[in-house]
Structures are given as structure tokens and as C-alpha cells.
Amino acid sequence: MAIVNGEPVPLVEFQAEMQRYRQAREAAGQAFNESEARQVVLETMIRELLLAQAARQAGFQVTDTLLQSRLDALIAERGGEEAFQAWMKANGYDALTFRRALGRAIQAAWMRDQIIAKVPTQAEQVHVMQILFYNEQEAQQAWQSLQSGVPFEKLARQYDALTGGDLGWFPRGYLLEPVIEEEAFRLKPGEYSGVLKSEIGFHIIKVLERAVRPLSPRALYLFQQRALEEWLRQQRETSQIQIIP
């Protein structure tokens, strides 16, 4: 199906992955589009191969012992040897092609772990409150109230009784609205902003605290995924990839 740095993506393995993809879509009650599926599956396999190649270049090897232990675990998960053989047959694998695919998957997972392990687990963050409005006039009126001495916290609770406008802690590069993030890291603790316009409305924010602290699990996962995507982007730029028509 493709040749990646001289290493092929075998047709038999591609067909097996297509079958698994189809089954997953159908099990989830989702439509299956052959053309879209081919693109998704082939791209996934190319990415895995790039990771596996990098793992080998870094010196990681899948030993027979490791491969067999993973295979034994999969057999147990499937309910025994007979059930596992039936699953392989239903998905277009034989013993050789499955061991080869499993070895590559182990290599790719190892390399993926190396990439995301380099992402820092802590960063400078700000603790922010906001008041969100859906029209500018109301936002300007609220800002005037703040200027006249109404406490930010009191005003925030009027507009959000549930959370009081507390956005919690976040690092740079986390929010979907960059205008809010940029202003949050410009302000000092205790300061509040003017009226900020974003795609979802108008905001006034106040910075409560600023410190270097551990990333939340959600923020860490986001940054790890970004690091992985950036690594793959760079790897593709320096790789020879030929798609077989």
C-alpha cells in the first residue's frame, strides 16, 4: 500500500486493519465510507511505521521474550488460543503477519512513550476568573461597575452562580481563545482586564494567582499529543513516503 523509507506497508496487514476499522464503525453505529476509511487506515499505518523505524534507530529491539509475553496476554484477553485463532482469521491475519504487526506496534508504542516523556509535567500557570457576556453593551456596563468599585467576585457570581466565573489554573497554549490567554499572562495577580472580544462572546477576566505548578492531567495530555503530532510532522518532512496507487 505504501513504502516508507524503503519499508513496505503490506497489503495483507492493510486489509486486516480495514476490516477492524469497519467492524469498529459498525459496532458504534457509525456509517462506513470506503474511501475515507482507506485514507484513515493508511495514514495510521504510516505513522506507526515512522515511529517503529525511529525506535529501531534509537536501539530499541523487540525480543522474542517480549513479543511472546504480549502475544500470550492477547490470547488470554480473547479467551484462549482457539478464540484468538478465530479472531485472527476473521481479521485476515495469519501467525506470521500478526507477529510482525504486533512487533511493529510494540516498537511504535515505545517510541511514542519516549516522545511524550520529554514533555514537561509542570509550567507557569495563572489562576483566572472571568465574566462572560453575549453582547458588548452589557459587557461595557459591567466593566463600568467594576470601575465604580463593585467587587469582581460579586459581579462574577451574578453572571455565573455555579462556579463564580472561576476558570481555574491553566498554562500558555491551553485555552482555545488566545486573546484571553494572552491577556491573562499580561496581567498581574489582582488585576482585571478590559472587555475582551472572542468568537464566543465578550469577556472580562481577573488574574488571582500566578505560579509554576504541575499541569493538570488534561493539560498534560494535550501537550503530549501536540508533541507527538509535531514529531510526526517533522519526521514526515525528512522521510521518503510513496503511496502505491
> What is the pLDDT, as a whole number, of residue 61?
92
The per-residue pLDDT for range 99-131, each reduced to its tens digit, is 999 999 999 999 999 999 999 999 999 999 999
Q: In the CATH scheme, what is the code of domain 122-214?
A: 3.10.50.40
* Cell 512487533 -> residue: 103
* Over residues 77-84, mean pLDDT: 92
The residue type of 237 is E
Q: Of 224, 220, 219, 194, which Cα lies nearest the Cα of 206?
A: 194
Residues counted in the chain: 245
Q: Could you name the CATH architecture of 2-118+222-243? A: Orthogonal Bundle (1.10)
* Over residues 14-28, mean pLDDT: 89
Average pLDDT over the chain, rounded to an integer:
94
* DSSP H helical ranges for the chain: 11-27, 34-57, 64-77, 81-90, 95-117, 136-147, 152-159, 178-186, 217-237
Rounded to two decimals, the pTM is 0.85
The per-residue pLDDT for range 127-181, each reduced to its tens digit, is 999 999 999 999 999 999 999 999 999 999 999 988 999 999 999 999 989 999 9
Q: Return the domain boundaries, the chain.
A: 2-118+222-243, 122-214
Question: At 132, is the secondary structure helix, strand, or coil?
Answer: strand
